[in-house]
Structure 1
Amino acid sequence: MFASTRCKALPLEELLARLTPLRAAGGIVFTNGCFDLLHAGHVDLLERARALGRVLVVGLNADASVSGLKGPSRPVTAFADRARVLAGLACVDFVTGFDRPTPLELIEAVRPDVLVKGGDWPVESIVGRESVQARGGLVMSLPLLPGYSTTSVIERILALSGHAGLDASPRRD
């Protein structure tokens, strides 16, 4: 990783150490997801989440976790690459991975002031809601940018790959 992304994608222990001096000022925002094949909908959500505080922490599902949630053909992009891409976004301050079925333990360790998920998650269903609200934090489900999903990107790629105009053989002009 480049230095700028390496200092943003951290193991949990290092992340918590980096958050300690920032915690007093408040404004720690947390979101999580698979972020496989990052697209404009992801970036839109992350930028809006970051606008809710001073620091945005992204919990990133480990590869096995993505496979369990999305099926055996996923993730398309390996964990290290997904972490690097997320860490390269200006709106993301820190990225850390988790390999549990849910991010509950990670949320309880990070102790965010604001917990955010996309609008496909009703607030009542957001993992970690009780923990964040019990500490006086805010839990939000932000509307998704219409027309964007990793699944739709994959389906489009697969449909295009069968198109006669997309020949992968060498050109002989």
Structure 2
Amino acid sequence: WRAGAVAVTLGGDGALLCHAGSTPLVVPTPGSAEGDTCGAGDRFAAAASLALAQGALVSEAVQVAVAEASAYVAGGGVATVLPPSAPTVRARSAPGPRALQPAPRGGAVADRVGVAAVATLLGEVHAAGGTVVATGGCFDLLHAGHVATLEAARQLGDCLIVCLNSDASVAGLKGPDRPVQSEADRSRLLAALSCVDAVLIFDEPTPETALSWVRPDVWVKGGDYATGGGDASVTLPEAEVLRRWGGNTVVVPYLDGRSTTDLIVRTLAERTR
């Protein structure tokens, strides 16, 4: 069809954007709105078309469209645009949370960190036929951008495991002045989030070894999906590892203006004033 990109709407789960040969972008809905979804697809298409006409990248247009369609459903949907004499439309609920959920998160936060915690979680989810999602990073100074990525990742499956760079790994990647927070503190903060089910700390420069053990169904990275007009291909370095067991890699959008490095720079600037 000579299409530069294809966006597939996923109802209450948002949308999936694919470019030829690229890692797909998953754009989750901003909330869990319920209501009649009649007309939501039209709102999505109209919002995406308008954004593209105004010069947005394809990835940006899909994000705008998901937000617009979600707001439309949350605001009452087609009932808000029908004349008073029109027949009423019976509301239908949007897809809710996945039926499968891990066992209740009891015990201390520390109990969700480490090999034993991850192994227990994997056993429970696999036994129930669930989908294991993983993501990774240094998470040196936890900020809103991190939380948005983690929440979006958790929506893609039945559990979320965070592969966390150890102190030695962070120092090797970012220099002797990093990390700002120890791996013990970083892992506890992550494990305390409701969207994180377990944390696995690894010492290597990349999460390849950790991924080979966890073998997630989906590996999620947060980031700018495309540049150069929205047609650039994105290949995550972990994609080849995931292919070994049939896993998939996806990207979820960043929140603009959130960066650990920027936070550190601003903090140091304030101290020197």
Instruction: Give the TM-score taking structure 1 as reference length.
Output: 0.85
What residue is the counterpart of 1:169 in the other structure?
none
RMSD over aligned CA atoms reads: 1.9
The residue number in structure 1 matching 2:102 is none
- Equivalent-residue separation in structure 1 for 2:173 and 2:136 (angstroms): 13
1:103 equivalent in alignment to 2:214: no
Partner of 2:189: 85
CA separation in 1, counterparts of 2:153 and 2:190? 14
Q: Which amino acid in the other structure matches residue 102 of structure 1?
A: T
Equivalent residue, structure 2, for 1:31: 135
* Other-structure match for 1:171: none
Aligned to 1:144: 254
Secondary structure (helix, strand or coil) at the match of 2:172 reads helix
Q: Per-residue CA shift, 1:60-96, capped at 9, x if unaligned?
A: 1010100111111000000000000001100000001
**What's the counterpart of residue 154 of structure 1?**
264
The Cα of 1:106 is off from its aligned counterpart by 0.7
- Are residue 68 (structure 1) and residue 185 (structure 2) matched? no
Residue 18 of structure 1 aligns with which residue? 121
2:237 to 126, 131, 142: 126
| Greater CA drift, 133-142 or 69-78 | 133-142
Give 1:123 shift: 4.6
* Structure 2 partner of 1:166: none
The amino acid across from 1:159 in the alignment is A
Alignment partners' CA distance in 2, 1:47 and 1:61:
19
Is the Cα–Cα contact under 8 Å of residues 190 and 199 in structure 2 kept in the other structure?
Answer: yes
Structure 1 residue 133 displacement after superposition:
2.8
Structure 2 residue ranges without an equivalent (≥5): 1-105, 226-232
Which residue in 1 is equivalent to 2:157? 53
SS of the equivalent of 1:124 reads coil
Write the distance in 2 (CA, Å) between the matches of 1:118 and 1:109. 22
Residue aligning to 1:44: 148
Q: Residue type of the partner of 1:39?
A: H
Contact 1:117–1:126 (CA<8 Å) still a contact in 2? no
SS of equivalent to 1:117: strand
Q: For 2:109, what is the secondary structure of its paired residue?
A: helix
Q: Percent identity of the aligned residues?
A: 49
| Residue 137 of structure 1: how far off its partner (Å) | 2.1
Contact preservation (8 Å) 1:86, 1:92: yes
* Farther-moved stretch of structure 1 (115-124 vs 35-44): 115-124
Distance 2:119 2:224 in 1: 29
Q: Deviation of residue 34 (structure 1)? A: 0.3
Check whether the contact 1:41–1:145 (CA below 8 A) recurs between aligned residues: yes
Alpha-carbon offset, residue 108 of structure 1: 1.0
Higher RCO, 1 vs 2 (CA within 8 Å, ≥6 residues apart):
1
> What are the Cα deviations for residues 122-166 of structure 1, in whole angstroms up to 9, with x where unaligned?
752332x12323433221122211101100000110111123xxx
The two structures have a TM-score, normalised by structure 2, of 0.55
